Amino acid sequence: MVLRSRQIATAGVACAVFAAIGCGVAVGQAKSGSQPQTSESPSCPSLSGAAVVQTVQMPGRPGFLLLVKHTLWVAIASARPSGRGALVRIDARSGRVLREFRLPVNPYQLAFGFGSLWVTGETTNRKYQGRVLRIDPGTGRVLRLIRGPQAFGAKIATTSDAVWIGGADFFPPGHSERAGVRFVYKIDPRRNAVVRRVQLPAHATVIDLQGDGRSLWSAGWWGVVKLSTAGRVLFLQRIDGAGWSLAQTPGAVWVAQPFFGSRPVRKQDRPARRLLRIATSGVQRIAVLELQTQPGHVSSADGVVWIRANGGLARIDAGEMSPALTRVPVDFSPNYHVPFAGGLWISDLRANRVHKVC
């Protein structure tokens, strides 16, 4: 059977093609013993959220970011496609670069849990293709290579008892309904093996994943879904098009929507410029914030939602009855970001730098 790939949720192509709107990343949201982020402010001089207070030069183009307590991890892209990338470890309080680890893949996305870093990436080396890398954060050594019954995609997240990863967007010609990106896979970190495959409801696909205690959130084409640790559907909100990135606040999830679309064909030819606030309790309803441009990555911490939108960076007070965007003036092109109480770290789309905004 000949397979082909629809390059929507596979981050290597999606991040290259849609760099202008960014790619979703699940970082720092799992409420597990790994404690991927902290409510403490990593040495922010103010809580205004309106200024760049620190810039750190990187050895290459920065991508996904991961905040683990007071450590910031930065995925560094390789100089050529499918080449070897790196991870940079930064003291999030001082901004000092502590270590750089070379990787055998060009990294897509990072997650932390169970004492390890979990990395997805692209490579032409068959040993690492379609695998999840479990990495020792102290030495950078690859501890395990984990494969699934089908090819893995890029999106990965940890919960309190597992690691979850989305499937790759491969399907037989003419049968997109059988695409691997409609599935998520549960990895038992004690066994370093896939123990469950779950098909998402309502023809939904995986574009972003985030942990929430023992549960898992997924956003993608056609829907926002919450799954139990056993794969049972706890929440489903259908959407018209693609949810590109997901952030959680009490009683709601926020979804960046850069495309409209009608089932079953996923075509990225109808741009949307919307941020969705989806209530997760009480009467389910969607509040729509209309934007000037297609949105990029969205994240949240300590009651503040951050989004790449309207040509730059903006923030929202999640507690407002009628939430509105406040522009954050920065003199660089924002890309991926990871928040903390009072600010966020953000990678520069056009330069080898990461910035702290407070």
pLDDT tens-digit profile of 35-46?
Answer: 344 444 456 765
Question: What are the φ and ψ backbone dihedral angles of 76, each rounded to 5 degrees?
Answer: -110, 125
Q: Indicate the pLDDT class of residue 94, thresholds 50, 70 and 90.
A: very high
pTM for the full predicted model: 0.87
d(CA 18, CA 344) in angstroms, rounded, equals 22
- Backbone dihedral region of 54: left (phi > 0), alpha (psi from -120 to 50 degrees) or beta? beta
Residue 78, pLDDT score: 94
Tokens of 28: 């720092």
Candidates 229, 215, 233, 198; CA nearest to 29 is 215
pLDDT tens per residue, range 56-79 = 999 999 999 999 999 999 999 998
pLDDT at 296 over 60: yes
d(CA 242, CA 109) in angstroms, rounded, equals 19
Helix (H) or strand (E) holding 11: helix 11-17
Coarse DSSP helix, strand, coil percentages of the chain, rounded to the nearest 5 percent: 5, 50, 45
Identity of residue 4 = R
> CB–CB of 299/344 below 8 Å?
yes
pLDDT at 50 over 50: yes
Comparison of pLDDT for 281 and 338, the residue scoring more: 338
> CB–CB of 122/105 below 8 Å?
yes
d(CA 279, CA 287) in angstroms, rounded, equals 8
Residue 153: DSSP 8-state: E
Average pLDDT for 253-265: 88
d(CA 301, CA 343) in angstroms, rounded, equals 8
Buried/exposed 20-44: b ≥16 CB within 10 Å, e otherwise = ebbbbbbbbbbbbebebbbeebbbb
Residue 43, pLDDT score: 61
Residue 15 contacts by C-beta under 8 Å, 6 or more apart in sequence? 22, 23, 63, 108
Tokens of 347: 């990678």
Tokens of 205: 């696909």
d(CA 70, CA 91) in angstroms, rounded, equals 6
pLDDT at 2 over 50: no
> CB–CB of 300/307 below 8 Å?
no
Q: What is the mean pLDDT of the chain?
A: 86
Q: Indicate the pLDDT class of residue 82, thresholds 50, 70 and 90.
A: confident
